[in-house]
Amino acid sequence: MVNHNGSSNSPPPSNPIKKYNWWILMCLITFSTLLTTLMMIYFKKRTLHLTTSSNHENDVTLSSPATTINLINRYTPPKIPHEFQNYLLHNNNKKSEILPQIHHQIGKSIFSSHYNCIKHIPDHVNQTSLNNRYSLNWNSLYTSCVLENVCLNRRGEWLLYLHNPHERKKFNDQILVLTSSLRLVMHESIKFKVHTRVPPQQQVTQSNNYFTGTDENSIFKISKQFSWIQTPTFAFSRYATSNVGHLIMDNLFSVFNMMANFEYVNSNHFLLFLDDPFNKETGSLPRAGHPPERAEAVSLEWAKFFSSHKPLQLCFDQFTNSYYIHYAPCRQDNVEQSIKDQLSREEGNEVQTCFSSLFIGSVESHYFDFYGRETIFPLFRNYILNQVGYLESKKYGQENRQTHTSHQRTLKIAIQRKPISSKHKDSIINTFEIANYFNEKKTEILTRLNAIYKRFHSVEIIELKLEELKAMEQLQFFKDLDVYVSTQGSASYMSMFMLNPTSLLFFSPLCRSETLQCSDYNIRIHKTFSNVRTISLNDHLDMIECVKENSLNGVGYKVKKVEPPGSVYYYGDCHLRFNVEKFYALVLEELENIHSSSRHFS
């Protein structure tokens, strides 16, 4: 109570007042705690939202028709000069037909060229020996460039328009790059030369007259077929494209490597073939001993997966004696150089096509020098599979794993049936016998594997004739394959597209009929594939015989590993006959091993 008499002897607070103050203190503490908790929840949800949004954006990028790997997609092509907007070759395979009269102020250049070149020098390469052996310009070897605002005239010359006279002298009529990664064959057709000019100050069409008082070198005269390609373009010379192994290792990998080097991994680009498989000069490399029809068809089929646009090709027309760029396929007519030279100087200087960005050059062959560049495989595989809609994001959370493994499926085992009449005698000659034996053992395979985890409801054994499948069918087939028994040839590289987490590749050795010795040299590439477990049959030669004849009933010879240790064979020349019982036991053992140790079925 309050003392109204002013006495200093105030009584102590009563119990109700103490309780009231204590209640206020507790309210303040509770409010502070609640506020802190709400702030923590808010920021946690905001962080989760940002993370989810980021992941969602990544998912959208992966599923986008125009494949983009953002981490290596930083390059931006230059803008097309204003004067040439109406000549733009659009992505719908059409270009403007308007030929406007352009008036440009004399004294200022319409445009100029720019370039950026990079070079790869393997430590083990001896420059002197390479130059002596191949008569190379060392500066062009393993060099790749992006050329901006580069043009092609009717004479087939590639033109760079440079301001600096020193650079014009340095590059003029010089081999800038090689257009194929296969350095073992230094063909004239893969030597890419550039010719330099001063940046043009005046542009005219065939119907225009030159303005008087203007230096002829500064005039940019365009042909009736002129077009400007703004979409980034990757130019190369094909090699052995009817062979899927070389197609991937020595063609598409090199282009993809160049895309990554210049940070433009994007399907919004053109491929430009600089050769013609039917031409006696430029066609020898893409043919590589095979029919030109096959070399052309296979490269065109795979080009559809690699780019979102129809590929281009360098063509030559004997009726106009002119080189030009057109959609593939087209022909480079077999015409003598003397006939090509009949084009007048003025006509030859007419520009047919310009490119805002032309990527051209080569890296070392992935087939012959693979060490240290194995990262390219999963990037390339996912790029291709994403292009055709076969790439599925894999999530290994407990809920997703249970869903993924709850449905039984067919176990697929494929044995490559390579024609015995192939260039190299390296087929598995008794695939029919192997397939029959495995078919008889289907019940045992199911019982043994389902004892580990009830994953399969059936087994399918396939004698694979790869050459009978179209490229899209091949990708679909290998995506779902579990076990692949392959020869040492190009078909073995399709194992990179196997996506099942328990995939197995049985890699046959390369055996020589003269020595009856075997090597697994080419397995050095397959051993880097993280998507598949690779088993070398060179470690199981007790179950393999060499058959020299093109006959299933031919005499079989025992083989052994190549001597001395460390020696290699690059290809085999005798067929292989497997002991089916021993081979079946090995396959079943490896299947049990990988399934019992796989976390995907645990």
Domain boundaries, the chain: 82-87+108-121+138-207+215-331+347-366, 407-597
d(CA 111, CA 113): 7
Q: Which of 113-122, 253-262, 565-574 has the lowest mean pLDDT?
A: 565-574
* 326 or 407, greater pLDDT: 326
- Collapsing DSSP to helix, strand or coil, 229 comes out as strand
Beta strands in 140-182 (DSSP E): 143-153, 158-161, 174-178
Q: Give mean pLDDT, residues 562-581.
A: 84
Q: pLDDT band for 36, please (50, 70, 90 cuts).
A: low
pLDDT of residue 96: 47
10 Å CB burial of residue 363 (0-12, 13-18, 19+) is buried
Question: Residue 466 in contact with residue 419, Cβ under 8 Å?
Answer: no
String of DSSP letters for 41-59: HHHHHHHHHHHHHHHHHHH
Could you report the per-residue pLDDT of 226-253, keeping only the tens digit for each? 999 999 999 999 999 988 888 988 899 9
**Residue 438 tokens, joined:** 């495995």
* 185 or 450, greater pLDDT: 450
Among 197, 198, 169, 210, residue whose Cα is nearest residue 108: 198
407-597: CATH topology = Rossmann fold (3.40.50)
Long-range contacts of 122-125 (CB under 8 A, 24+ apart): 122/364, 122/369
Average pLDDT across the chain, whole number: 81
CA distances from 44 to 48, 55, 56, 392, 576 (A): 6, 16, 18, 30, 63
User: Does residue 436 have a pLDDT over 80?
Assistant: yes
> What residue has token string 């609640």?
34
DSSP 496: G
State residue 504 phi and psi, 5-degree precision: -125, 140
pLDDT of residue 467: 87
State residue 466 phi and psi, 5-degree precision: -60, -35
d(CA 598, CA 602): 7
Q: Give mean pLDDT, residues 113-117.
A: 96
- Collapsing DSSP to helix, strand or coil, 89 comes out as strand
Could you report the per-residue pLDDT of 67-82, keeping only the tens digit for each? 445 678 899 999 999 8
> What residue has token string 């392959």?
486
Question: Residue 203 in contact with residue 220, Cβ under 8 Å?
Answer: yes
Q: Give mean pLDDT, residues 387-392.
A: 86
pLDDT of residue 122: 57
Compute the Cα dihedral for 270, 274, 277, 279 and give only its sign.
positive
pLDDT of residue 572: 83
Cis peptide before 199 (omega within 30 of 0): no
Residue type at 565 in one-letter notation: P
- Provide the 10 A C-beta neighbour count for residue 168: 16
Is residue 34 within a helix (H) or strand (E), and if so which, with residue range?
A: helix 15-63
Kindly report the pTM of this predicted structure: 0.80
Could you report the per-residue pLDDT of 343-380, keeping only the tens digit for each? 888 888 999 999 999 999 987 667 666 667 778 889 99
Q: Which of 17-26, 452-461, 527-536 has the lowest mean pLDDT?
A: 17-26
